[in-house]
């Protein structure tokens, strides 16, 4: 509805907040605190802040950070984990069903940040900010998590690597994330949502004139 554009309605904020109130303790008990270092889980929390603050920057950062990886997750899930090997745990009976059900949030993860950017606008600072955030998350993952779990592929693309010094690999990974994940998403989002900017500005000016 055009009159609601530029804001995130409570009908989205409240259910999303309640979902996170259920997910956080469930994941904490089932996976441990380190699980929240996964980029996708950080995206959930960033989106919560973006919703309540109605922050274009936070929404844009999330879209930049998870657009391609969440699309990849969905491709894997809906093809039975045969393409990229990202979702094998979703078909593993050893993983409790309620944890796998909670992980279905990934299905909406490509869509929700894009919808929020459509509502709030795209902030061009998102590429730099998200690249720095993800680099810091990789460093925290390296320092705090178990290499055997290999969260965010911090220790190797498949399993812990021993080809180079771990910190050299970490630096290359951070650069790869910025250039291969964040930058293409930034360029696409900038192209798509910059085209919407004149229409949005026109609506805001029209709304301001009506109110005054």
Token pair for 127 = 């590429």
Q: How far is CA 92 from the centre of its chain?
A: 24
Average pLDDT over residues 77-104: 91
Question: Measured between alpha carbons, how far is residue 15 from residues 12, 60, 105, 126 in Å?
Answer: 6, 21, 13, 26
Q: What percent of the chain has pLDDT over 90?
A: 83
Average pLDDT over residues 132-136: 98
> 153-210 pLDDT, tens per residue?
999 988 889 999 999 999 999 999 999 999 999 999 999 997 655 444 444 444 444 4
Average pLDDT over residues 30-44: 97
Question: Measured between alpha carbons, how far is residue 198 from residues 14, 118, 201 in Å?
Answer: 30, 13, 5
* Nearest alpha carbon to residue 61 among 187, 194, 182, 191: 182
pLDDT of residue 173: 98
What is the DSSP code string of the chain? -GGGTTS--HHHHHHHHHHHHHHHHHHHHHH-GGGGGSHHHHHHHHHHHHHHHT-HHHHHHHHHHHHHHHHHHHHHHHTTS-SS---GGGG-TTS-HHHHHHTTHHHHTTHHHHHHHHHH---TTHHHHHHHHHHHHHHHHHHHS-TTT-GGGTT-SSS---SS-HHHHHHHHHHHIIIIIIHHHHHHHHHHHHTTHHHHHHHHHHHHHHH-
Give the predicted TM-score (pTM) of the model.
0.88
Q: How far is CA 81 from the centre of its chain?
A: 20
């Amino acid at each position: 509805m055009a009159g609601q554009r530029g804001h995130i309605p409570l009908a989205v904020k409240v259910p999303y907040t309640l979902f996170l109130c259920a997910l956080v303790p469930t994941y904490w008990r089932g996976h441990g605190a380190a699980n929240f270092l996964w980029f996708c889980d950080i995206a959930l929390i960033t989106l919560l802040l973006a919703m309540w603050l109605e922050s274009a920057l936070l929404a844009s950062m999330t879209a930049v950070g998870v657009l391609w990886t969440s699309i990849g997750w969905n491709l894997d899930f809906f093809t039975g984990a045969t393409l990229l090997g990202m979702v094998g745990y979703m078909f593993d009976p050893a993983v409790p069903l309620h944890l796998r059900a909670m992980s279905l949030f990934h299905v909406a993860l490509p869509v929700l940040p894009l919808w929020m950017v459509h509502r709030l606008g795209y902030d061009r600072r998102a590429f730099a900010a998200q690249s720095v955030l993800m680099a810091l998350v990789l460093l925290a993952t390296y320092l705090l998590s178990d290499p055997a779990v290999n969260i965010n592929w911090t220790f190797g693309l498949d399993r812990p690597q021993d080809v180079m010094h771990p910190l050299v690999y970490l630096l290359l990974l951070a650069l790869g994330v910025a250039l291969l994940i964040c930058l293409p998403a930034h360029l696409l989002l900038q192209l798509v949502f910059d085209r919407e900017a004149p229409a949005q500005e026109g609506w805001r000016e029209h709304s301001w004139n009506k109110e005054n």
